[in-house]
Amino acid sequence: MSRNVVTFHYTLRNTQGQLLDTSAGGRPISYLEGAGQVIDGVDEALRGVASGTKQRVEVPAAKAYGERDDTQVQRVLKALLPVVGELNVGDQFKAGEDPYSPIVTVMAVDGDEVLLDANHPLAGVDLVFDVEVIEVRAASAEEIEHGHAHQGACCGNPDCGCK
């Protein structure tokens, strides 16, 4: 089975029409199909489309950032957190030194305790993408081996190994 690298611009909104993010005015996104570089709903919707395609992609939360998981909300002692200084509701920070540590959001501050939410901020949210596909090309053997799209001669990821 051949795999493609898809390059696209997007405007992301929630179902109420509120603008959440856009690549307009910046660099488009490039990804290797099926490599988990974009959310499943977008990856599936853009399979087999041609360069120049413009379409609206409606993605349910389950195929975006998942449903909210209440077990990801926990009370933690402030002294255990890797943050120096005052914490406020809405603050976000990485929960540890590990590269895969989640980004958490402060939901409440109560004395020496903080209520943290490790759900993605868009968990439980149905999303609407307006997409313009800029380019679709066959993935190189190296991209398939490395599991992601490369930009030019090398992707710039120090863990990749491309040259």
**CA 148, 150, 155, 161: dihedral to nearest 10 degrees?**
60
Strand 127-138 with 113-117, pairing: unpaired
Do 9 and 58 belong to one domain? yes
Look at residue 157 and tell me if it is in a domain.
no
Q: What total number of domains does the chain contain?
A: 2
Enumerate the β-bridge partners of residue 28.
none
Residue 1's pLDDT is 63
Do 106 and 131 belong to one domain? no
C-alpha closest to that of 120 among 79, 59, 67? 67
Do 111 and 138 belong to one domain? no
Q: What is the CATH number of the domain that holds 139?
A: 3.10.50.40
CB-based contacts of 117, cutoff 8 Å, min separation 6: 72, 73, 104, 105, 107
- The per-residue pLDDT for range 123-142, each reduced to its tens digit, is 999 999 999 999 999 998 88
- The per-residue pLDDT for range 22-72, each reduced to its tens digit, is 999 999 999 999 999 999 999 999 999 999 999 999 999 999 999 999 999
Look at residue 152 and tell me if it is in a domain.
no
Q: What is the CATH number of the domain that holds 92?
A: 2.40.10.330
Containing structural domain, residue 107? 70-117
Look at residue 160 and tell me if it is in a domain.
no
Do 49 and 22 belong to one domain? yes
CB-based contacts of 53, cutoff 8 Å, min separation 6: 131, 132, 133
CB-based contacts of 91, cutoff 8 Å, min separation 6: 83, 105, 106
